[in-house]
Amino acid sequence: MLTFYDLQQEVKRRAIRNQAGTEFDDEIKNIINTSLFRVARESKWRCLRRKKVAFTTKTSYTSGTGLVTVTNSSTAISLSATACNLWVDKIEIGRRVKFGTDSNFYAIKAINSNTNFVIDMPYKGTTSTATSYEILPQEEYNMPMQVDHRAFLWHEDYGYPYKMVPVPDQTFFDSGAYLTDKNTPTHYRMWGEDNIQLQIPTATPLMVVSSNALDISQQVTIFGNVGGNLSFETLFISGTTASKTSLEFESVERIAKNDSTLGYITVTTSRGNYQVALLPMGDTTSTVKYSKVQLWALPNRVFDMNVHYYKDPYRLVNDGDVHEMGQEFDEAIIMLSVAKIKYQDSQSEGDKWIQLYVNEIESLKKNNVDKIDWFPVLNRPNEATGSPFVSNNLLYRQVGPNYGPQSR
């Protein structure tokens, strides 16, 4: 299988017939990477299919005696020191919470300590120093790194494999389902991608550390909100000794490192020790992608959620890197890269190279395309019980004889 350096040399040989020059090395590296991403998108390649436990659900949090101080018209909430340990238990901002007999649900906006948090709107109930509380189950979870939208979730909480139903946000909200419903999850929404595992609970400095003591000169740049404004700070990695930002970040948008590392780079909050991000070893300029999913109903039990998915390949960085698709795809990557260079120089040979690329992709599809077996399908009436999502106005020729009303 060709290394990144071998790919560069081969693209140079075919496109400019000169492997010695270095003037366009950066451009050629970029072209090879964009070609790699394009090839990965061409089809559902078997080599990129993965399956694993995506995450473990988190159910309601009511730790301790439940003694909570709430004040009418205030957003500040104080819990008994024996009632909870919010930072230790890594409670996430955004989770909904209910107090005593108050019928309203509130969202956690910030967590200032193990026993104090802030809600998103003033408390509407009666002032009390000894009411009960329930932080509802977690709704949003991270998928594994580099999961794209060609994925499906399934669990065994019913005692057998159950494939979750994906639903668009607009369809979900049209259904009238309550965001606070608790049960075994049956549906999920997949919205949002970033390189942040968990948002920080409160304004805090951030700590950056490597798993390898030899990482001592690379830089990590953190972008986010500081004092209500967009800002950033760059830190030097000091091996397994944590480096700390001088800024107190209120939220994080993106984290990047400027060079390859021998170890994993973790970014955690100084207050609460929440892990905000994990940057993989070796890789530099690519963004680690975490797709987010929101479950419905909120899980009332703890169990593993599994995922089958197609992986977005990582960017090639170092000369010794090899891509994840296998040697059969080297030729397609080279041909597409050469075609791009020919077109960039307005050479007529570009058409020939792009046709060679198209032919190579068609050949690869004969042996390397996976059979997709999870496209959403219409349910029969007896299979749709309990589902709030209904497809209306379908013609009989669209759905067949086993669907639709029993009389016309």
Does 224 share its domain with 262? yes
pLDDT at 390: 40
| Rounded distance between C-alpha atoms, residue 298 and residue 137, angstroms | 6
- The residue-averaged pLDDT of 83-100 equals 91
| pTM of the shown model | 0.79
Does 207 share its domain with 278? yes
Is residue 188 in a domain? no
192: pLDDT strictly greater than 90: no
Is residue 357 in a domain? yes
Nearest to 51 by CA among 144, 148, 190, 159: 144
Q: What is the mean pLDDT of the chain?
A: 86
Secondary structure of residue 368 in the 3-state scheme: helix
| Rounded distance between C-alpha atoms, residue 119 and residue 105, angstroms | 10
Q: Which of 259, 288, 317 is the last residue of a domain?
A: 288
Model confidence at 284, pLDDT cuts 50, 70, 90, reads low
pLDDT at 244: 96
Q: Are 55 and 142 in contact (CB under 8 A)?
A: yes
Does 131 share its domain with 98? yes
Does 39 share its domain with 74? no
Q: Are 100 and 128 in contact (CB under 8 A)?
A: yes
- Greatest Cα pair distance in the chain: 80
Is residue 173 in a domain? no
pLDDT at 135: 95
Identify the domain containing residue 102 by its residue range: 68-135
386: pLDDT strictly greater than 50: no
Is residue 407 in a domain? no
131: pLDDT strictly greater than 70: yes
Does 202 share its domain with 125? no
Place of tokens 């408390």: 123
400: pLDDT strictly greater than 50: no
pLDDT at 318: 81
- The residue-averaged pLDDT of 335-359 equals 88
Contacts of 204 (CB under 8 A, 6+ apart): 248, 249, 269, 270, 271, 272
Is residue 352 in a domain? yes
Decide: residue 183, CB within 10 A, 0-12 exposed, 13-18 middle, 19+ buried.
Answer: middle
Does 284 share its domain with 334? no
Does 97 share its domain with 129? yes
Is residue 158 in a domain? no
Is residue 248 in a domain? yes
Number of domains in the chain: 3
pLDDT at 290: 84
More confident residue, 81 or 314: 314
Contacts of 9 (CB under 8 A, 6+ apart): 19
More confident residue, 287 or 357: 357
230: pLDDT strictly greater than 70: yes
pLDDT at 180: 93
Lowest mean pLDDT among 105-119, 164-178, 205-219: 164-178
- The residue-averaged pLDDT of 96-112 equals 94
pLDDT at 291: 86
Is residue 277 in a domain? yes
pLDDT at 66: 67
Does 275 share its domain with 211? yes
